[in-house]
Amino acid sequence: MYREISQLLMYGDLDRDSILYRMGELFGEFETGGYDKTALVRDMHTQVKRILKVATDYGFDDNLWHNYLTFFLMMSENPFSITCEKTGAGDGSVNALVENDFRIFKELFDYDFGPVEKELGITCFGQISDYRAIHKKELMYNKNVSEKVRALSKKLEEAEDEKDFFREVTGFYRDYGVGMFGLNKAFRIEEKTQGGIRFCPINNMETVMLDDLVGYELQKKKLVDNTEAFVQGKKANNVLLFGDSGTGKSTSIKAIVNQYYKDGLRMIEIYKHQFQYLSAVISAVKNRNYKFIIYMDDLSFEEHETEYKFLKAVIEGGVETRPENILIYATSNRRHLIKESWNDRNDQDNTNDRHHSDTVEEKLSLVNRFGVTINYSRPTQKEYFDIVVHLAKRAGIGMDEETLKAEANKWELSHGGISGRTAEQFVNYLLSQM
């Protein structure tokens, strides 16, 4: 195994602490015969435990060794895999080099752990080669990743040679992409300790769909029309969803990502204090074969906060043109995002500001950078009752409508007033009492 792994070319840039690299070293010790048996068994058990951890995190099953190798290939971002993501494999000279890598992976798939286990007196590799997970699939946060890994792993198990391997892996790159962007829907960013940023997948994102949001049909249509144009490569606008709290603004954006994930739509959530990294985020994803929504939830600024000026330049107005595969979707309870006071409208109280109209325009200019603004207003009482009835029926609550409405009315009086969120909280309360 050590000799095979050491011959990898396109996929050979391994992290020294990766499972595959460490496995190669350990099997190299075994194959040369110069090892301490107790230490080698301990180290091999450590790597098997790491494979089990990955399997638990992502819901792998059956042959965990094959699942791990498949996951490795899916996550390997290199010049070849990223090119396949954009244009397919083609017929370039590099294909022969990559086919040799896939020949090695085919050998790793077919590796016989029997002699190693017999010599060392262990059974761990045989156990993970025929594994039965105890998790419930419907509860897995990474179900989407698990399904893709296991499906491709089965195809690679059936591959007759490196050409079959090549066809299946490059086909996956073409259809889904490579790396974390190919396997996940949504991400947040974190600052690295040594500077820069890294993307962290959000694995427990709600599976809500637009049909789950009762009412707001016109608002949803505007959002769908803009997003469909975006994923189809047409011109589209940045979007601001504003209005009362609890009306479904954030839910609508999450639902949009779920609905268009298969069309290559991804979401990157970024917070106000992270605006300094916006340029780095855009630079990291502008050449990928996906459409990215940069999502800013509950966006607003106080008078003393100046981050909005940086945001304005990034959205529109900076020297570098915003890439066509990136849009900004934001939600806010404020129509104009930046706090306004009556003094902003009173020239007599702004004698120190010689060009007061310019100051007001500066505050309002940020919202004008969003080509589509959608208002989510608080529902009427009738609409509130309709939402409650719809959610209750969907949840299987058999209470008659009149009683349901009466109880919903009592609930909203003491729980934040009329809104879709209040309706959902009321239905959750009923379910908790069943």
Pick the residue with more confidence: 132 or 252? 252
Q: How far apart are CA 45 and CA 309, in angstroms?
A: 54
**Does the pLDDT of residue 353 top 60, yes or no?**
no
pLDDT at 123: 93
pLDDT in tens, 200-222: 988 778 888 888 888 889 999 99
DSSP per-residue letters across 374-419: EEEPPPPHHHHHHHHHHHHHHHT----HHHHHHHHHHHHHHTTSSS
> Quick check: 56 pLDDT over 90?
no
Backbone angles phi, psi at 249, to 5 degrees: -65, -55
Residue pair 364/400 in contact (Cβ under 8 Å)? The answer is: no
**Predicted TM-score (pTM) of this structure:** 0.78
Report the C-alpha gap between 223 and 47 in whole angstroms.
47
Please say if the pLDDT value at position 140 is more than 60.
no
What mean pLDDT do residues 408-420 have?
Answer: 87
> With 50 as the cut, is the pLDDT of residue 342 above it?
no
pLDDT at position 139 over 50: no
pLDDT in tens, 271-315: 888 888 888 898 889 888 899 999 998 887 666 666 666 677 667
Is-contact 107 4, C-beta < 8 A?
yes
Helices (H), 216-369: 217-231, 249-260, 278-285, 307-315, 356-364
Q: Which of 133-147, 228-242, 271-285 has the lowest mean pLDDT?
A: 133-147
Per DSSP, 321 falls in state P
